[in-house]
Chain A
């Protein structure tokens, strides 16, 4: 079962980003093959909502992260195979009959490009099959290991009649002209599907190695998926993978306290924390390692974040309406009994302070009553938090503090529990000296009048 999510969430978390920009996908993408990068992209587009599948993938990646040897096949070899196998034009098939004397002579002097590609492709496949067999045979897997089925699959193909008889004499073995003709028939036409299957297995291996490498280099940890029952997420020292000096934070969410109510001044790091948390939860549902010290979670059905709703400031009212529609969409998913992770940054900021305050209270209280789903809501409207504190025990209040050093705000980016009393609005206004300017101007003009 796939995890439910949407484009807004993918954009919010910057999973892909714009072309060439630094995205979460790019962090994990150190694949060596194009096929591998496509599989990785598919993994990002299809997070998993299934306990077993998450564990399986996570176990596989962990297994390869723990092994010393490298990705088995060189990229040059692969590109030779790919351009060869993708040519399915039967007219290009090597044949002993229709080769005219001139063509033979010509090829004897200098083979044409197509023929060269075919010869190189056949040699490459011979080498690939040999190397791949050695690699797979060396994998020591328990029979119930999630990768063992794939391993068996590969071994079955490689030990099939057609492949078992291939000459694996030595590296650099040069087939005869007659052998080339029969291998071409075998690889490109009779057993093309088997070769393609082998390549797919190789691309997947590429992806696993790529993720394993990132996990090792960046010291990401593999989250533990917990079997069903009550929803629970515990994450220690989670940080944003795209920040240089990210400050880690820890949080626990459970059915007992299923709403995190986050307050804090602007620029205190609310959005960054919310993104870090959501990215970790998203990656965990792909079976990937996460930027944190430790993570345990129960598998959810979906994840929805609302961080950067497309702003249309020219139409203040309709921005509010966009938020309302998004809340409605999520509410209908919840109505179906789905277990979701829902996140709203600066809820209802598209409207006036008072409406936003009332709406935030109403929604947060309603969310808190929803069993099984987990919510994070941030706002700068502290008053909403004060009301909610009285209403419900299921809300966990946390804030990102601002400390004033003289008149300069300092941000620690470390979560504290409770509601912030930080009201820096008036401090900022006083810092800017607006009232002083106005009073001084008035005094001056009065003095002139007298």
Chain B
């Protein structure tokens, strides 16, 4: 089973999308192979929900990070190898030989390009195999590592005597038709299965090595995943991975204090903090390195955010109704007894103050009773905070604004308490509009 994350949440956190600027996927996608990229995508689409699986993958990343090597093979070599292996060859060896001679003849007589392509493909394949062997040697320093299983399998495949002969070949060699047929047959018929396995392992090394390297370069940490029953979420030094100089913050949720009531002016960094947390939790469930100093969390069933809810005019939903529907689906998930992390940014902004107050208060109180889930609710209606003060499940924190003359500056550092900072009127005053309107 995978972590429950819907489309809105993915969009809020800008998780996926190879070509989406600033997406978390594109941030981590430093893979050198197409297969590696696909594997990375699969990992992004299927975050894990078992503490054991998360920690196992984390250990592999960590192992590769310690190894600290650069995956050195051009994307083009892998593409060429894959293309070569995809060209079918006849099952019968004798037919393959005849076929090979035929193509050679065609290439001489009518300048047919297929023979040349086969030779080039075989050369790339040899290059890839040579690199695989180098990796196998590189990784084979000590036993009892998290990557042992794949490592052994890789070694096993490469130990095949026929394959070793091929690897010993010089690349860029003109292959004679008979020799080409022999290798063609070997790679595409005899060793087809083990060669596929070998490529898969190479792809995974590509992902592990590059993600691990990125994690090390950025100073990311790895999560310590715990069983669901532990009910902890403890992060120090949390920052947004897409920001260069992100300010770090600490957050803590547990059974006794499972809801954070967040206040602060526009642009003070509320949304960024919530997004950082959402991203960290998502990455933690993938076993990936995280932009934080330390993170301990019990695994969750799902992640639910409501940060950029847009009105859907096509379906006639107003902004308010869109928000209501969003809260409803979060309520359904939480009420089904699942452990969630839920992030609500500026709840009920599309309605009047009174309704927004009533709605935020009742909804917050109702959610706070679900001890197994963790919540952040951000709002400008500080009166809700006052009304919640007796509630022991609720922690209060705000993102401060420091006025420098009449220019607001933002330290982005989470501070305990409630703030009434609002800069809307200050912006209007700075523009001097009301002065203009005076008669």
Measured CB to CB, the residues of A under 8 A from B are: 266-267, 311, 313-314, 316-317, 320-321, 324-325, 327-328, 331-332, 334-335, 348-349, 351-359, 362-363, 366-367, 369-371, 380-383, 423-426, 428-429, 432-435, 437-442, 444-445
B387 at the interface (CB under 8 A from A): no
On chain B, the residues within 8 Å of A353 by CB distance are 348-349, 351-353, 356, 380-381
Task: Identify B437's interface contact among A348, A366, A380, CB under 8 A.
Answer: A366
* A-B contact list, 23 entries, CB within 8 Å: A266-B321, A314-B308, A320-B266, A324-B427, A324-B428, A324-B431, A327-B428, A327-B433, A328-B431, A349-B350, A351-B266, A354-B424, A355-B423, A363-B437, A370-B437, A380-B350, A383-B352, A383-B354, A425-B354, A429-B327, A437-B328, A444-B335, A444-B337
Proximity bits, B352-383, A CB within 8 Å = 1, else 0 = 11111011001100110110000000011100
Report the nearest B residue to A321, measured CB to CB: B427
Contact A313 B328 (CB under 8 A): no
Report the nearest A residue to B309, measured CB to CB: A313
Nearest Cβ distance between residue B398 and chain A, in whole angstroms?
14
On chain A, the residues within 8 Å of B320 by CB distance are 266, 380, 425, 428
Contact A356 B424 (CB under 8 A): yes
Chain B: interface size category: 35 or more
A266/B433 contact (C-beta < 8 A), A359-B424, A429-B324 known: no
On chain A, the residues within 8 Å of B438 by CB distance are 366, 369
Contact B348 A352 (CB under 8 A): no
Contact B428 A445 (CB under 8 A): no
Nearest Cβ distance between residue A379 and chain B, in whole angstroms?
8
Task: Identify B332's interface contact among A354, A366, A437, CB under 8 A.
Answer: A437
Task: Identify B439's interface contact among A320, A369, A423, A428, CB under 8 A.
Answer: A369
On chain A, the residues within 8 Å of B334 by CB distance are 438, 441
B87 at the interface (CB under 8 A from A): no
B206 at the interface (CB under 8 A from A): no
Within 8 A of A (CB), among B390-431: 422-425, 427-428, 431
Nearest Cβ distance between residue B347 and chain A, in whole angstroms?
10
Further contacts, 18 of them, CB under 8 A, given A324-B427, A328-B433, A434-B324: A266-B321, A316-B308, A324-B431, A354-B353, A357-B353, A363-B433, A363-B437, A366-B438, A423-B354, A425-B358, A426-B358, A426-B359, A432-B325, A432-B328, A435-B366, A438-B334, A438-B370, A442-B369
Contact A442 B436 (CB under 8 A): no
On chain B, the residues within 8 Å of A426 by CB distance are 355, 358-359
On chain A, the residues within 8 Å of B267 by CB distance are 317
Nearest Cβ distance between residue B323 and chain A, in whole angstroms?
10
Contact A352 B370 (CB under 8 A): no
- What's the Cα separation between A426 and B369 when bound, in Å? 20
B319 at the interface (CB under 8 A from A): yes
B316 at the interface (CB under 8 A from A): yes
Nearest Cβ distance between residue A126 and chain B, in whole angstroms?
57
Contact A316 B266 (CB under 8 A): yes
Say whether chain A's binding surface is mostly helix, strand, loop, or mixed.
Answer: helix
Most buried by A among B370, B423, B436: B436
Contact A354 B348 (CB under 8 A): no
On chain B, the residues within 8 Å of A327 by CB distance are 428, 433
Contact A441 B336 (CB under 8 A): yes
On chain B, the residues within 8 Å of A267 by CB distance are 316, 318
Contact A381 B369 (CB under 8 A): no
- What's the Cα separation between A331 and B431 when bound, in Å? 11
On chain B, the residues within 8 Å of A348 by CB distance are 424
Report the nearest B residue to A265, measured CB to CB: B318
Nearest Cβ distance between residue A392 and chain B, in whole angstroms?
14
B106 at the interface (CB under 8 A from A): no
A380/B425 contact (C-beta < 8 A), A434-B328, A434-B363 known: no
Contact A354 B381 (CB under 8 A): yes
On chain B, the residues within 8 Å of A370 by CB distance are 437, 439
B37 at the interface (CB under 8 A from A): no
On chain B, the residues within 8 Å of A331 by CB distance are 433, 436-437
Most buried by B among A335, A355, A370, A434: A434
Task: Identify A382's interface contact among B354, B359, B369, B425, CB under 8 A.
Answer: B354
Nearest Cβ distance between residue A189 and chain B, in whole angstroms?
58
On chain A, the residues within 8 Å of B325 by CB distance are 432
- What's the Cα separation between A367 and B439 when bound, in Å? 10
Contact B355 A425 (CB under 8 A): yes
On chain B, the residues within 8 Å of A363 by CB distance are 433-434, 437
- What's the Cα separation between A255 and B408 when bound, in Å? 39
Task: Identify B424's interface contact among A313, A355, A438, CB under 8 A.
Answer: A355
B310 at the interface (CB under 8 A from A): yes
On chain B, the residues within 8 Å of A433 by CB distance are 328
Report the nearest A residue to B346, measured CB to CB: A352
On chain A, the residues within 8 Å of B428 by CB distance are 324, 327, 359, 362
Report the nearest A residue to B321, measured CB to CB: A428
B218 at the interface (CB under 8 A from A): no
Contact A266 B318 (CB under 8 A): yes
Nearest Cβ distance between residue A268 and chain B, in whole angstroms?
10
- What's the Cα separation between A65 and B17 when bound, in Å? 59
